[in-house]
Structure 1
C-alpha cells in the first residue's frame, strides 16, 4: 500500500468569518449637542485669533512690543499686550527664543469642549 504524505502547510487557510460579538454591537444614539457647543465656542476663539493675527500683521509697533516683552521674559506684559488685541478668552501664553505659543480656551466655563493653539515663529 502506498500512502501520500500531505504536509499541513499545503492545506488552504480556513475562511475568516466576522466575529458576531463585534460586528453587531450597538452604538449609542447620536447626540450632536456637545459638538454644536464645541463649534460655537471654537467660532468665537477663531474670531478672537483673527483679531490678534490682524493686529500683529498690521502693526509693526505692536509686534515689536510683544517680541521685546517676550525676549525680556515679561510674562505679565506679554499677556497684557495679547489681551489688548481683543482677546477675552482664557489664555495660556508661553514663549521660547524662537516662537510664541498661545492656547485659547472659552472663558464661559466650557473649557473642556475645545482649545485653539497658535504657534507663531519669529526666528
Structure 2
C-alpha cells in the first residue's frame, strides 16, 4: 500500500489551511478590509477582490466566487491539477 499521495495531500492541505486562516484573520479583525472587500465584490470588481485577498500574503491559487449574499474562496495547491489538495471556505455577509 503506497501512502505517498495521501501524505503529500495532507501536507498541502495544511498549507492551504494556514493561508485560509490568514484570510479569516484579516476578515475578522478589520472592518475596513471587510468594507473594501464587500464593496469590490458587490460592484463586480473581481480584480480588486483578488488584489485585496492576495494583499494578505496568500501564495496559493485562489478561485474567488461571490454573489450579493457572500463570498466563496477555493484554495488549491500548485499541484491541484492532480487533485492533491483543495480547501473551500464560504462566507456570508447578508
User: What TM-score do the two structures reach when normalised by structure 1?
Assistant: 0.73
* Corresponding residue for residue 61 of structure 1: 32
Match for residue 10 of structure 2? 39
- Structure 2 distance, partners of 1:86, 1:120, is 19
How far off its partner does 1:85 sit? 1.3
Normalising by structure 2, what TM-score?
A: 0.95
Per residue, is there more strand in 1 or in 2?
A: 2
User: How far off its partner does 1:43 sit?
Assistant: 0.3
1:94 is the counterpart of 2:69: no
Q: Hey, what's the Cα distance between the residues in 1 that align with 2:62 and 2:93?
A: 20
The runs of at least 4 aligned residues of structure 1 exceeding 2 Å deviation read none
Q: What secondary structure, in the 3-state scheme, does the structure 2 residue paired with 1:38 have?
A: helix
How far 1:87 moved relative to its partner? 1.1
More helix by share: 2
Structure 1 residue matching 2:62: 3-state secondary structure: strand
The aligned length equals: 92
With a CA cutoff of 8 Å and minimum separation of 6, indicate the structure with the bigger relative contact order: 2
Matched, 1:105 2:67: no
Note the alpha carbon deviations across 1:90-111, whole angstroms, 9 max, x for none: 111010100101111013xx11
